[in-house]
Amino acid sequence: MKSFEIPQQYRSQIISQIKSARKSEDPRKQDFTPTELDFGPIRFLIARHFGFCYGVENAIEIAHETIDENPGKRIFLLSEMIHNPIVNADLKERGINFIMDTYGSQLIHWNEITSSDVVIIPAFGTTLETERLLTEKGIDIVKYNTTCPFVEKVWNRAAALGKDKFTVVIHGKAKHEETRATFSHTINNAPSVIVRNFEEAQFLCEVILGVRDKKEFYSFFEGKYSPAFDVDKDLVKIGVVNQTTMLAGETQAIANMLRETLIKKYGENNLSQHYADTRDTLCYATNDNQSATMALTQEKADLAIVIGGYNSSNTSHLVELLEDKFPTYFVSGADKIISKEELTHFDIHTRKEIYKKKFLPENEQVTIAITSGASCPDSIVDAVLNKLLSFYDEKINLAEALSRK
């Protein structure tokens, strides 16, 4: 796989050594057991896979190259490059302005953007409407397009489904940049509907089986289906694709439930005429990170810390996987760990930061499970590890801990 030039401030001392060793030991990524770093009074269980994925590294490299290649030009990003506050702050510091926020609200009016400006399309991609608008302004939408190839793979699969007259069910968050982009591209080729979770998919199944009136569909999924969507015609043939940062297991569960619903309605012998197998749209990085996180849950730990941007979908799903097993704290960086006694963490359920006292147990040895989102630089994980290590005096040094693993 291609390697990228990542800015020095995102590189790490600790994590880079761990990842290099794991890559050498397990090049095919078949071992999901975590890496153990034992410093004596504190012990870390570090997930096998985490941090920058291919799409994120590609986007960051293109963004920094764009800055270097266009001195004196105004450079804009359509919205956040990725969902990490430190990376986005770095880009702003280098002179990049954001046209929209993460939910699509306008920060800079389109009238202010001219053909002499450079506009970077973020890793999530963008809608066909925005692409047309930029093209009409004379702005190049290819050279500075950082759309993740795995997102484009979903778009291509959806287009193929449309060609075969299948309706596309998108498993995703309707307000997320990637889902908005996928929906825009998909409805150009096929009838489409967005389902957020298993419960919404179940509602859709009840509509298919006639348990719910079709009027309920239009009300329940308002704003989440394509124009002129016809329940009677457009729920006869179905294929499922996903927002690449969703829980892979949930996407598969939704697909399986829709499959069983279509078997119930049309019979197993006729399934191929009504259901398309679309497992190939799941992102490799999402799968690997979630599998590595599940492997963490098989270990014994006192708590878990997940590091990343609070609006990062893939990171919040890692929190979901861990919080059933451990007290789990979602932090954006080392500054959220105030002392050995205190930290501030993000609650994914209330969407608020919470102050916590005595988050570290007073054990002879404290074991902490560690992972981070796909948009989190390894240097931030290093900073969290070093902050936690700073609370303990009688610890061995890094070189010795690395040699023991």
CA-atom Rg of the chain in angstroms: 23
Q: Which long-range contacts (CB under 8 A, 24 or more apart) does 106-115 make?
A: 108/76, 110/137, 113/76, 113/137, 113/139, 115/139
Q: Name the helix (H) or strand (E) containing 366.
A: strand 366-372
CB 235 within 8 A of CB 223: no
Considering the candidates 178, 222, 250, 353, report the single residue annotated as catalytic: 178
The Cα 299–Cα 322 span in angstroms is 11
| Residue 299 is among the residues annotated as catalytic for this protein | no
Q: What is the DSSP string of 172-191?
A: S-TTSHHHHHHHHHHTTTS-
Q: Which two tokens stand for residue 373?
A: 């989102």
Q: Where are the alpha helices (DSSP H) in 94-197?
A: 128-136, 149-163, 177-186
How far is the CA of 113 from the CAs of 29, 72, 98, in angstroms?
Answer: 45, 15, 11
Judging by DSSP bridges, how do beta strands 42-46 and 35-38 pair with one another?
A: antiparallel
42 CB contacts (<8 Å, ≥6 apart)? 365, 366, 367, 368, 388, 389, 391, 392, 395
Q: Which two tokens stand for residue 358?
A: 């005595």
- Hey, what amino acid is at 392? Y
DSSP 3-state percent helix, strand, coil across the chain (nearest 5): 45, 15, 40
Residues 6+ apart with CB under 8 A from 308: 83, 84, 315, 318, 330, 332, 372, 373, 375, 376
- The residues carrying an active-site annotation are 178
